[in-house]
Structure 1
Amino acid sequence: MYVQGFLVPVPSDSKEAYRTVAEKFWAIARDYGCQRQVETWEADVKDGQYTDFRKAVDLQPGEKVVFSWMIWPDRATADEARTGMMADPRMKTEFGPPDGSAMPFDGKRMVIGGFDLLFDTQA
């Protein structure tokens, strides 16, 4: 299992627009092997003394933090999917101009990382 995690600053009034983008992206990612996509909207994010979710994305007044992750079978699938998705015509038609100006968030402040599984359990 390979997990890609994301922190995204989103204007508070763009929650539904963000959801729409996430749903469109899921349709593409699923076609390239993604097994699960989870999008969460800030509900209880505390300010930290040294660092926190807000500082990580330089959160501005009127914005919320979205914490999301995507589950892939393995890193190779995720890496291959990135190449395929960037070439997929839907990426050019579903999300507005390539400069990201139509997106309901500031992609320059998004934090992205890939993670190998260390521990996974559930009740």
Structure 2
Amino acid sequence: MSYVDCFLAPVPRANKAAYEELARLSAKVVKEHGALSVMECWLDESGPDAETYHGAEAKQAKVEYGNFVKAAGARPDETVVVSYVEWPDKATRDAGMERVTNDPRMQFGDQAPAFDGRRLIAGGFKPMLGASDA
């Protein structure tokens, strides 16, 4: 069964190009170390709102909904990136991420960071339903 790493990070809007460069490098490295796919998503700040995801009977007042910006603790000059990496299984993920985090290409030394990694929210997930199951 596949395994998925998910990430939520606040990123300064001014760093979009730097983040995209980091994302491309990271995707290449994790794929070389066993990942099946990588998805990086920059928040569409023009919508849709959370209320559009609920049926008419379940809708609440707009102020009662959470959102990714709040969840990530994004500041006024920041937006949010949601990412995921799909692995064939957890064992491949664990071995692959060990190699990824030690890969010289993933050591950024004196480079200015594209985002504050201390504010990254991350977790591993066991899929319950895939696109082919729907």
- The CA deviation string for residues 75-122 of structure 1, in whole angstroms up to 9 with x for no partner, is 111111111112222222xx334xxx7211111111101101100125
Bigger-Rg structure (1/2): 2
TM-score by length of 2: 0.79
Counterpart CA distance in 2 for 1:45 and 1:80 is 38
> Distance in 1 between the 2:65 and 2:121 partners?
17
Alignment partner for residue 110 of structure 1, among 107, 113, 120? 120
Quote the residue 1:26 is aligned against. Answer: 27
CA 1:63/1:46 → structure 2, altered by over 3 Å: closer, same or farther?
Answer: farther
Aligned length: 118
Amino acid in structure 1 at the alignment position of 2:129: F
Deviation, 1:49, is 2.8
Moved over 4 A (4+): 45-48
CA RMSD of aligned residues (A): 2.0
* Secondary structure of the structure 1 residue equivalent to 2:84: strand
Matched residues in 2 for 1:103 and 1:61: separation? Answer: 18
1:34 aligned partner, one-letter code:
A
Unaligned runs of 5+ in 2: 51-62
